[in-house]
């Protein structure tokens, strides 16, 4: 089976990949946008999560072949690459905080058959894998990040893995920006298997491409994934879910559209918020404190959010401004990227030097070292509301943090 992909060109799918894509658990991903609400700032960013997992599976296979892995190992990482987001929530990471656990654990259970989605024909994932002589528990372990084979694990979740190598290229392409334009094949052709230490290393001539990838990742998080407009839309969506009079149960099995339709009938507050999101009548920032530049203020905010939850602060600010539920949203995005991308501040890749010595990249590259130590300026406290209420909300926040 051949697929035309705008990032990787013509992709030839093997029988395992073809059979997995035909399952309803993966068909659902066709109706989930990879970047959630980012299209409200980047109109081209409407690509699906399915096209990402197909790309990740393709890159996993390319990495396995570059490292000289066996056919069975190649099939295993291709399956894990294709299934790693099978249990992903709608709207990217916006609703993950509503889950009782990580979506990776949920995906592991889907792959293992201990959980079955309420979709027509769902529940055959483990049988398809076993038909192709792939152990579902091994795929689940790779997705969860606890596989015993460190090399296979690094392909799926590591310093340079199939997930990042696809989403950086794909997301930047569809958003129409050049930040994520990495040299994929330079990286692939300079990856080497260090059999003594059972790890993936990069040849010295591939260091420039890895540095380029780290810069691209840093820029994509600043420019796209952390964009303030998308963040406000995501918080309005989250509050619509939390304020629903009729809870949207089982949302983790839904598509983006199904969540919107359920929120339309979930009560007046949820309907009002979600319609504003759909028609891009988004709240505006009334008050914001960033992590850098205002040390005393940042310290006050940190003390405040240690004592009270976002919802408690919201109610307090709304009451002070004479507003009702849902008219003020407090955002505390201190750990937002830790949830969606825990690899940002960790990089343990090692470099195979021309002399045969293997050394940490961070010892060799000042740029890589600087990026992992970089303290980015990010918002630690923000309030969002309708334009007409900004002055009142700002005044209450100023008094609260005086």
Enter the pTM of the model.
Answer: 0.92
Quickly tell me which residue has 């959630």 as its tokens: 36
97 C-beta neighbours (distance < 10 Å), count: 12
* β-bridge partners, 352: 203, 358
pLDDT at 181: 85
Distances (CA, A) of 244 to 49, 88, 97, 271, 326: 26, 21, 16, 9, 11
The helix or strand, by DSSP H or E, that contains position 19, with its residue range, turns out to be helix 15-21
123: tokens are 């529940």
Q: What is the largest CA-CA distance in the chain?
A: 70
pLDDT at 293: 56
pLDDT at 54: 98
The whole-angstrom distance between residue 377's C-alpha and the CA centroid of its chain comes to 20
3-state secondary structure of 91: coil
Please give the Cα distance from 135 to 242 (Å, whole number). 38
Q: Which domains does the chain have, with CATH numbers?
A: 2-192 (1.10.3210.10), 283-347+378-402 (no CATH)
Residue numbers of the chain with a pLDDT score lower than 50: 337-341
Contacts of 107 (CB under 8 A, 6+ apart): 83, 84, 85, 86, 87, 88, 140, 143, 144
pLDDT at 381: 87
């Amino acid at each position: 089976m051949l697929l035309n992909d705008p990032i990787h060109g013509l992709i030839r799918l093997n029988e395992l990949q073809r059979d997995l894509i035909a399952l309803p658990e993966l068909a659902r991903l066709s109706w989930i946008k990879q970047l959630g609400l980012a299209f409200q700032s980047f109109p081209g960013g409407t690509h699906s999560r399915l096209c990402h997992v197909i790309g990740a599976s393709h890159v996993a296979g390319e990495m396995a072949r570059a490292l000289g892995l066996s056919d069975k190992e190649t099939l295993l990482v291709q399956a894990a690459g294709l299934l790693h987001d099978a249990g992903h929530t709608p709207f990217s990471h916006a609703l993950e905080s509503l889950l009782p656990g990580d979506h990776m654990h949920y995906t592991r259970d889907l792959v293992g058959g201990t959980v079955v989605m309420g979709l027509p024909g769902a529940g055959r994932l483990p049988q398809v894998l076993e038909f192709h002589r792939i152990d579902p528990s091994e795929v689940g372990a790779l997705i969860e990040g606890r596989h015993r084979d460190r090399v296979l694990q690094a392909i799926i979740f590591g310093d340079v893995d199939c997930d990042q190598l696809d989403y950086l290229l794909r997301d930047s392409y569809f958003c129409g920006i050049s930040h994520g334009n990495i040299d994929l094949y330079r990286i692939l052709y300079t990856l080497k298997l260090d059999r003594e230490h059972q790890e993936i290393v990069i040849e010295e001539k591939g260091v420039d491409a890895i540095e380029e990838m780290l810069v691209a990742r840093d820029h994509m998080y600043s420019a796209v994934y952390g964009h303030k407009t998308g963040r406000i839309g995501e918080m309005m969506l989250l509050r619509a879910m939390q304020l629903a009079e009729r809870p949207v149960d089982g949302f983790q099995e839904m598509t983006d559209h199904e969540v919107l339709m359920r929120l339309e009938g979930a009560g007046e507050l949820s309907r009002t918020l979600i319609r504003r999101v759909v028609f891009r009548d988004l709240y505006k920032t009334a008050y914001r404190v960033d992590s850098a530049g205002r040390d005393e203020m940042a310290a006050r905010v940190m003390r405040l959010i240690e004592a009270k939850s976002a919802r408690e602060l919201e109610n307090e600010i709304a009451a002070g401004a004479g507003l009702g539920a849902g008219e003020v949203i407090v955002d505390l995005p201190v750990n937002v990227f830790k949830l969606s991308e825990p690899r940002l501040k960790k990089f343990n890749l090692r470099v195979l030097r021309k002399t045969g010595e293997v050394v940490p990249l961070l010892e060799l590259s000042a740029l890589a070292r600087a990026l992992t130590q970089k303290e980015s300026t990010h918002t630690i406290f923000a309030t969002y509301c309708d334009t007409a209420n900004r002055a009142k909300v700002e005044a209450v926040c100023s008094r609260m943090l005086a």
